[in-house]
Amino acid sequence: MTIKKAWKTVNKILNRKQECREINCNHTQNGQISCPNELAEHFNNYFTDIGPKIATTIGNTDRNFTDYITKATSSFKFQTVSETKVYKLLSSLNPCKSTGIDKIRAKIILIAAPIIANSLTRIF
């Protein structure tokens, strides 16, 4: 079952209905716009112009963007990982959990753990 179908089922069970908010007209300073092409053009102009319009309201400063950035005080070090540790982690997977983004079931990983642990350790 895909995620989309799952949410569809959940929403159906909870009696949630999606509201379709269709914009058929828009009131502007120049009057009402109801033609779909004119509406699309109006929204396009609005969203492409909003950034520069806001930028004009912000005063110029002598400050540089680096003035707002603080230096990191933490450090990071790689650690070696043992094949035993990788195998132990692979073996601790719950076979009843759903797949991840790779769509590989935990049960398959558990079965393959003795074979793939070495390769995964080298990658890590």
Q: What is the pLDDT along the chain (124 residues), one digit of tens a residue?
A: 688 888 888 888 877 776 767 778 888 888 888 888 988 999 999 999 999 998 888 877 788 888 888 888 888 888 899 999 999 999 999 999 888 888 899 999 999 999 999 999 999 8
- Contacts of 95 by beta carbon, 8 Å cutoff, 6+ apart: 105, 106, 107, 110
Predicted pLDDT of residue 89 = 95
10 Å Cβ neighbour count for 39? 15
Tell me the pTM. 0.40
Predicted pLDDT of residue 1 = 64
Q: Domain spans of the chain?
A: 22-52, 83-122
Predicted pLDDT of residue 59 = 78
